[in-house]
A and B are shown apart, each in its own frame.
Chain A
Amino acid sequence: MTNFIIALILGLFFGLTLQKAGLTKYHKIVNVFRLTDFAVLKFMMTALIVSMTGLYSLKWMGVITFPNVPATYIAGNLVGGLIFGFGMAISGY
C-alpha cells in the first residue's frame, strides 16, 4: 500500500514536470524532430544527468542497489525505437 502511495505521489510530480516543460503539446514533440525546438532533448538530458549522478553516487555510498536494468537486445531496441519514433512524430505525444 505504501508503495502505491509513493507511486501516486511520484506520478503527480512526473506529470507536473511533463506539463510544465510543455511536453504535453503536439508542437513541442514534433518540433524536436524538425530540429527547431530542443525542449524535449533539454528536458530528457537534464533528467538523465541529474538522476544518473544521484543514483551512481548513492550506489557508490552503498545506500541502494540498482533495480533490473532494461535488457539489451540490439535488434529489438533499435527496431522498437524506429517504430516508436514514427508513432511519436505523427501523433505528437
Chain B
Amino acid sequence: MDWLKEQFKKEEWSPYAAGAMLGVVGILAVVLSNSLLGASGAFENIAGLIGKAVAPAAFDNIYFNFVMPPGITWGVVLLVGVFFGGMLGAKSSGTWKLRTVSDEQWKEIAGKKWWKRWLIAFVGAIILEYGAGIAGGCTSGLAISGGMLLAPAAYLFIAGMFASGIVTAWFVYGRRY
C-alpha cells in the first residue's frame, strides 16, 4: 500500500505504465459504456450548443445537425473528468501551480512573454481542432481509440500527424532541430 502511495506521488511515471493504464481505461469505456475515449469531439458538441443558441442559422448544417450533434454528451462529461484528473495528477506530486508560461524549452525558443505562448497555443489549438474535425478524431479519439479497433483511418491519421509534425518542428527549431 505504501509502495502504491509512493508511486502515485511521483511527478512522472514511466510512459509504459501510464500508457498501460490508459489502455485499461480504453477497454473499460467500451465494456461499460460502449463508447470510445475522445477529446476533440466534446469541444465540437459544446461549440454546437453555443452556436445553436447564438447563431442558429449558421449552425444549421449537416455537420452540426448529424455528424456532431450539439449537447452534453458522454464525451463532454469525460472531458470534465480529464480536467480534474490532470489536476489530481499535478496535486498528487505537489507540482500544481498557476502559471502563464510553464515550459522551459518554450522560453528558450520563444522568450518569456506570456501573450506569445497564449496566442500560439490558441491559434495552434484551433488548427488542431479543425484537423481533428476533418479527420474524424484526435490523438485519443481516432489514433488510440480507432487504432485499438484496427481502424485504417487511425493509422492514416497517425501517418499524417507525424509527417507534418516533424516538418513543422523542423521549421520551428531550424538549426537546433
Interface size class of B (residues with CB under 8 A): 35 or more
Question: Do residues B128 and A84 form an inter-chain contact, with CB atoms below 8 A?
Answer: yes
In the complex, the chain A residue whose C-beta lies closest to that of B23 is A50
Contacting pair B74 A7 (CB below 8 A): yes
Q: Is the CB of B31 within 8 A of A58?
A: yes
Contact A10 to B78, CB < 8 A, known contacts A35-B166, A50-B24 = yes
Interface of A, secondary structure class, is helix
Partner among A12, A34, A67, A74 whose Cβ is within 8 Å of the Cβ of B156: A74
Contact: A4 with B77, CB < 8 Å?
A: yes
Q: Are A79 and B134 in contact (CB under 8 A)?
A: yes
- Tell me the minimal C-beta distance from B132 to chain A in angstroms: 6
Interface of chain B: mostly helix, strand, loop or mixed = helix
Tell me if B88 and A16 are in contact (CB < 8 A).
yes
* Interface residues contributed by chain A, number (CB under 8 Å): 74
Q: Given that A20-B89, A58-B31, A67-B30 are contacting pairs, would A25 and B80 also be in contact in the complex, using a CB cutoff of 8 Å?
A: no
Q: Does A62 touch B at the CB level, under 8 Å?
A: no
Closest to A39 in B: B15
A22 to B12, CA, bound (A): 6
Q: Which residue of A lies closest to B134 (CB)?
A: A80
A63 proximity list for chain B (CB < 8 A): 31
What residue in chain B is nearest A91 (Cβ atoms)? B124
Q: State whether A70 touches B144 (Cβ < 8 A).
A: no
Indicate if the CB atoms of A48 and B144 lie closer than 8 Å: yes
Residue in B89, B141, B165 whose beta carbon sits within 8 Å of that of A88 in the complex: B165
A81 touches B135 (CB 8 A): yes
* CB-based contact A86/B164 at 8 Å: yes
